[in-house]
Amino acid sequence: MSAALILNRSTPPHVVTLVLIAGVAALCMNIFLPSLAAMAVYFETDYAVMQFAVSGYLATTALLQLIIGPLSDLFGRRPVLLAGFALMVVATLICALAPNITVFMLGRMLQAVVASGFVLARAIVRDMVPANQAASMIGYVTMGMSVVPMVGPTIGGFLNDFAGWQASFVLVAFCGAAMLILIFFDLGETNRQKSASFSAQFQAWPQLLRSTRFWGYALTSTFSSGLFFSFLGGAPFVGSVLYGLTPATLGMQFFFMASGYMFGNFLSGRYAQHVGISRMMLAGNGIAAMGIIGAIALPYLGLSSHYEFFLPLALIGIGNGVTLPSANAGMVNVQPHLAGSASGLGGALTIGGGAGLAVLASSLLSKEAGTTPLLLVMLLNAILALAASIYTGGQERRHNQQQSGT
């Protein structure tokens, strides 16, 4: 197949392009996590301050998603993605060259503009296909992109050991530049129903916020993702402080959850269209809860390895991989003409909640308490995610009955 057939600015993007768009966005989030302790030493600051590179980034991402979705509904997906990735490349270079923690954090917050990759990959899928098919397609897209966060921390850990923490940001900048070129040549505009004005998008929010179905999907996504964000907030401390792992070894531990996520995305892509999004969400959250219960129970068996913490949490990855494609597809299908706004608003709720949970998880950790506080926060999230998915299933059934007139 020739490059001309693959790269076409007048047609919707190839699925591989969507995978890479979301994948590079995920890479920004987690490639440097094994280097947090080394970065704290480099910038001569406390580890807790360095953690803001995670929680502050997530909070900024949440705010940006409120703007990115409506912008894409107004101007189109293509120009917003091009601008977002261009800014991300500049911000990443600022991080790599930062002389002090203040400049680094400014660059890191600006780097969050790559959230356009998360928001618009979902909206583009919804532009292209209907709801149940969108859940399957999002599952396949996120299955592919999950390879990136699976290997990202591992690569980041090795880069830290061999070339310093800055090397991770240099790699991200190169990846962002490559994505900018790919978006320019392959991503044709998919938004065929552009909004009349920017303010009209915000005026349309009450339609979403009054919808119990939207809230059901958004809360399911928020609490399900909260499991992962709690892990992001606590895992670097658990690995480096409690278990004394090197950055490279710590990076390899992210493989378990990320590989589980990839498998869960495969299950979603394979079965969501046939099983239905409500059942997929319920099943995924049940699987995730089992993983947390396993991580709580294993220490009582007398094990002392770091695997007792990291290995069972692979089930959280599977659960999220099953749940989130359906929750995301449900959110953008509540009001299809507001797909970009729904993706952005739902993403803001999800990521904003994740930022708070990352802060909570990291603040509760100490050498004396061990992993117990983190696991209890994650267990509470799992219970709330299950409750939200049960509620959403009931709302969806009532909606379908109203639509069919029974």
Q: Residues 43-57: pLDDT tens digits? A: 988 877 888 888 888
| Domain limits, the chain | 10-400
Find the range with the poorest average confidence among 137-151, 207-221, 316-330: 137-151
Arithmetic mean of pLDDT over the chain = 81
Q: What is the CATH number of domain 10-400?
A: 1.20.1250.20
Residue 177, pLDDT score: 94
Q: What is the pTM of this model?
A: 0.72
Q: Which of 25, 115, 111 is nearest to 64 (CA)?
A: 115
State percent of the chain over pLDDT 70: 85
Q: Which residue has the higher pLDDT, 132 or 365?
A: 365
Question: Residue 251: exposed, middle, or buried by beta-carbon count in 10 A (0-12, 13-18, 19+)?
Answer: buried
Q: Which residues contact 187 (CB under 8 A, 6 or more apart)?
A: 9, 12, 13, 17, 77, 78, 81, 124
Q: Is the pLDDT of residue 244 over 90?
A: no
Question: What is the rounded average pLDDT of the residues 79-102?
Answer: 93
Q: Which of 134, 149, 165 is nearest to 277 (CA)?
A: 134
Residue 264, pLDDT score: 87
Q: Residues 97-107: pLDDT tens digits? A: 999 999 999 99
Q: Which residue has the higher pLDDT, 14 or 282?
A: 282
Q: Which residues pair with 366 in a beta bridge?
A: 370
Question: Residue 86: exposed, middle, or buried by beta-carbon count in 10 A (0-12, 13-18, 19+)?
Answer: middle
Residue 3, pLDDT score: 47
Residue 1, pLDDT score: 41
3-state secondary structure at position 63: helix
Question: What is the rounded average pLDDT of the residues 62-74?
Answer: 79
Question: What is the rounded average pLDDT of the residues 147-176?
Answer: 86
Residue 212, pLDDT score: 84
Q: Residues 335-390: pLDDT tens digits? A: 766 666 677 677 778 777 777 777 777 777 777 777 888 888 889 889 999 999 99
Number of H helices, E strands in the chain: 19, 0
Tokens describing residue 329: 């597809």
Residue 2, pLDDT score: 42
Q: pLDDT band at residue 196, thresholds of 50, 70 and 90? A: low
Residue 364, pLDDT score: 78
Find the range with the poorest average confidence among 96-100, 115-119, 205-209: 115-119
Q: Which residues contact 126 (CB under 8 A, 6 or more apart)?
A: 134, 329, 332, 333, 336, 339, 343
Q: Is the pLDDT of residue 74 over 90?
A: no
Q: Is the pLDDT of residue 4 over 60?
A: no
Q: Which residue has the higher pLDDT, 279 or 258?
A: 279
What count of other Cβ atoms lies within 10 Å of the Cβ of residue 340?
30
Question: What is the rounded average pLDDT of the residues 190-215?
Answer: 73
Residue 116, pLDDT score: 72
